[in-house]
Structure 1
Amino acid sequence: MSKQSLKVVCSGTGYFSQFHYDAWTRLSEANLVGVCNRTKTAADEFAKKYDIPHSSDDLESLLIDTKPDLLDIITPPATHLSSVKIAAKLGIDVICQKPFGETLEVAQQMVEIAEQADIKLIVHENFRFMPWFRKIKQVLNSGMLGEVLNAEFRLRTGDGQGPEAYLSRQPYFQKMPKFLIHETAIHFIDTFRFLFGEPKSLYADLRRCNPNIKGEDSGIILFEFEDNLRAIFDGNRLLDHPTSNPRRTMGELNIAGTCGELTLDGEAKIWHRKFGDVDAKEISYPMHDQNFGGDCVFNTIEHIVIYYLAEGQLENTGAEYLTNIQLEEAVYQSASEQRKILC
């Protein structure tokens, strides 16, 4: 698909939406023409702040009036299905934030609706667009590490302790019955697939460490990949890691192969140590340490714009993203049944 420019409507004005609006306004090839929110005053405030000509609390009317190319859904999962239905009825392509729908069944329904309406449905999964993961993927593809056998990401956000956990930024986290995996680890499920391919099996052990929240906030997942690779996601939102910004990388990654290892630290520096050496050398790469996660929201939206303007390769379509949700469900099944699940 090739266009000269894109007209975009955004739906949602919550905490994380600020990164979406900032990204759209920085791209000269895109034009924000409308903002929707269930509270009209909030929509009006964002319209004024980001110089958007139209604001409304009625999504369908706004889409009819503005006739955008894309609807960017930045609202909670419970609203996704109804928003996709409206966009599909009007023939408007959709970008949807994650968690993508409330359940796998709802996500599948949205994909089917989009396919029947012949519209694009893209999931805004931005972690794979963090610049350090894009660089690490290049290094893996180069063969520098030899045969890669082990990988581990240690999530340590340090924001989950006590009765005030998450309240200042995203208070609904406290009431989510499924939290660490559904809200956070889903990013790393997608990132592991981006880096290592499709897992063959997984085993998970989940727990709740903060009694003030409803869902799990700590867990370990062991993934089995092709070529004898094992990758571990080890997450605990109560613990921290050495960094000047715990929301930059959100933890540390180590990938080890027969010729050496890569380490991503909390300052987003990538280190390479050759097998047998003591010291590691830093690998330089372009990285803008701004907004969230190395400006990954901008990187994700730019990737989507490039697809529309230059017919690039589109990542994270709704249909492809269903695999992430299936793996998420397998994690919860494994933890519940205390056994390995084949993927």
Structure 2
Amino acid sequence: MKLEPLRLAVIGCGFFAQNHLRAWRHVRGVRLVAVCDRDEERARAAAATFAVPAVYTDAATLLERERPDFVDIVTTPPSHRELVELAAAHGVAVICQKPAAPTLEDACAMVTACERAGVPYMVHENFRWQPAIRRAREIVATGAIGEPYFGRITFRSRHDVYRDQPYLAADRRFVIADLGVHLLDLARFFFGEPDSLLCAARRVNPRIAGEDAATILLRSPAFACVTDMSYASHQERDLFPQTLIAIEGSEATVVVDADYEVALVRTGRRERIAILPEHRPLAGDAPLRESVLAIQQHWVDCLREGRTPETSGRDNLKTLDLVFGAYQSAETGEAYRPGTLLAASANPSGPSPR
């Protein structure tokens, strides 16, 4: 028996929402029934571009009238908690753009609201769904590199991200919260949970409010992983928006290099595995981002099959704990013990963190 498509509404029609909307047209098993944005002109433009039948400027009205199966929230972080709790109160499942919240307290409250309402909740953490990164993780899982013990995950650029997202220039917490959250999720994706974090961060661009360069060292008895990020780096060739990865093991190293090349490296030789681009050209349209399509299809498949998505709201709390722990480490100059801030945020009046 053919299943009816799930009814979807997108809340937020700004810059990155265009990638979500474009991908939804290629996801199996969904029907986009409405878009919502406080800026009516922007919402109507999105509806016209992506052939969406209904336009709203108020999320509560949308939820009451359309009764979607789920919403995709693609707004800025300060609005996320209110919108997630609103959807949960209406019994509607939620995808929310990263970073999930500006504080761990808000992030915990969002998870609690969805769990109490019995609705699925996932954070749109798409970097791990890039085809090249996915393939590298599969290679590690096969044991082809032996025991992984060291990683470097790098994203350094001077791309003008402020042009399309000017609010980023005003954020007092910038590159770790906006970009580092992706890289920290990747570190967890490849290695699991660290037990120590040390961060150095600085502002290079005097015209912005927050830090635009940071290096974070994650450690456990089994591994060390460096996540390295910058929007201030002069490069001979700027590779934006590519993430470069090297995972070293006892037998070999797997790399994701420039132009999405995945290779297996052993002393004195290199085996190209694949070239797996992130962007797919579309006739008469901007390129489709493969990772956005993949995570959104994953979400729909999980809803259909009753599975917990990889980057569920609860799982993402561990990534956010590393984000806020990185800021604490950068400010104090001391190592952060992962889980400390999360324990305090989840139990503000409970026992002391471990």
TM-score by length of 2: 0.89
What is the identity, as a one-letter code, of the residue corresponding to 2:46?
F
1:48 maps onto 2:48 in alignment? yes
Q: How many residues align?
A: 332
Query: Does the CA contact (< 8 Å) of 2:19 and 2:288 recur in 1?
Result: no
Q: Report SS of the residue matched to 1:52.
A: coil
Query: Does the CA contact (< 8 Å) of 2:133 and 2:256 recur in 1?
Result: no
In 2, distance between residues paired with 1:282 and 1:258?
19
CA displacement at 1:258 relative to structure 2: 1.8
Which of 38-47 and 287-296 deviates more? 287-296
What is the identity, as a one-letter code, of the residue corresponding to 2:231?
R
Going from structure 1 to structure 2, the CA distance change for 1:111 and 1:206 (only over 3 Å counts) comes to same
Going from structure 1 to structure 2, the CA distance change for 1:99 and 1:288 (only over 3 Å counts) comes to closer
5 Å-filtered alignment, 1:39-118, equals 39-118=39-118
CA displacement at 1:118 relative to structure 2: 1.5
Going from structure 1 to structure 2, the CA distance change for 1:243 and 1:143 (only over 3 Å counts) comes to farther
CA displacement at 1:237 relative to structure 2: 1.4
Q: What is the aligned partner in structure 2 of residue 231 from structure 1?
A: 225
Going from structure 1 to structure 2, the CA distance change for 1:26 and 1:244 (only over 3 Å counts) comes to farther
Going from structure 1 to structure 2, the CA distance change for 1:292 and 1:154 (only over 3 Å counts) comes to farther
Query: Residue deviations 1:87-141, cap 9 Å, x none?
Result: 1221111111011122111111111111221111111111111111211111111
What is the identity, as a one-letter code, of the residue corresponding to 1:253?
I
1:289 maps onto 2:279 in alignment? yes
Q: What is the aligned partner in structure 1 of residue 129 from structure 2?
A: 129
Query: Residue deviations 1:124-176, cap 9 Å, x none?
Result: 111111111211111111111112221112221222xxxxx433221111111
CA displacement at 1:4 relative to structure 2: 4.0
CA displacement at 1:299 relative to structure 2: 0.8
Q: Report SS of the residue matched to 1:26.
A: coil
In 1, distance between residues paired with 2:288 and 2:24?
17
Query: Does the CA contact (< 8 Å) of 1:202 and 1:222 recur in 2?
Result: yes
Going from structure 1 to structure 2, the CA distance change for 1:191 and 1:293 (only over 3 Å counts) comes to farther
Q: What is the aligned partner in structure 1 of residue 182 from structure 2?
A: 187
Q: Report SS of the residue matched to 1:83.
A: helix
Query: Does the CA contact (< 8 Å) of 1:130 and 1:293 recur in 2?
Result: no
Q: What is the aligned partner in structure 1 of residue 247 from structure 2?
A: 255
CA displacement at 1:58 relative to structure 2: 1.4
Q: Report SS of the residue matched to 1:308.
A: helix
Going from structure 1 to structure 2, the CA distance change for 1:182 and 1:311 (only over 3 Å counts) comes to same
In 1, distance between residues paired with 2:224 and 2:87?
41
Going from structure 1 to structure 2, the CA distance change for 1:244 and 1:177 (only over 3 Å counts) comes to closer
Q: Report SS of the residue matched to 2:197.
A: strand
Query: Residue deviations 1:190-228, cap 9 Å, x none?
Result: 11101110111111111111111111111111110342x
Q: What is the aligned partner in structure 1 of residue 257 from structure 2?
A: 265
Query: Does the CA contact (< 8 Å) of 1:205 and 1:335 recur in 2?
Result: yes
Which of 303-312 and 252-261 deviates more? 303-312
Q: What is the aligned partner in structure 1 of residue 349 from structure 2?
A: none
1:280 maps onto 2:257 in alignment? no
Q: What is the aligned partner in structure 2 of residue 324 from structure 1?
A: 319
What is the identity, as a one-letter code, of the residue corresponding to 2:268?
V
Given candidates 197, 209, 212, the residue that maps to 2:207 is 212
Q: What is the aligned partner in structure 2 of residue 162 from structure 1?
A: none
In 2, distance between residues paired with 1:329 and 1:310?
33
Query: Does the CA contact (< 8 Å) of 2:259 and 2:275 recur in 1?
Result: no
Query: Does the CA contact (< 8 Å) of 2:146 and 2:250 recur in 1?
Result: yes
Q: Report SS of the residue matched to 2:51.
A: coil
What are structure 2's unaligned runs of at least 5 residues? 281-285, 339-354
In 2, distance between residues paired with 1:206 and 1:259?
33
What are structure 1's unaligned runs of at least 5 residues? 160-164
Query: Does the CA contact (< 8 Å) of 1:242 and 1:266 recur in 2?
Result: no
In 1, distance between residues paired with 2:278 and 2:202?
35
Which of 327-336 and 67-76 deviates more? 327-336
Which of 139-148 and 278-287 deviates more? 278-287
Given candidates 284, 298, 307, the residue that maps to 2:302 is 307
Q: What is the Cα-based RMSD across aligned positions, in Å?
A: 2.0
Going from structure 1 to structure 2, the CA distance change for 1:285 and 1:166 (only over 3 Å counts) comes to closer
Q: What is the aligned partner in structure 2 of residue 170 from structure 1?
A: 165
CA displacement at 1:302 relative to structure 2: 0.7
Q: Report SS of the residue matched to 2:279.
A: coil
Query: Does the CA contact (< 8 Å) of 2:14 and 2:42 recur in 1?
Result: no
Which of 323-332 and 310-319 deviates more? 310-319
CA displacement at 1:340 relative to structure 2: 1.5
Query: Does the CA contact (< 8 Å) of 2:153 and 2:226 recur in 1?
Result: yes
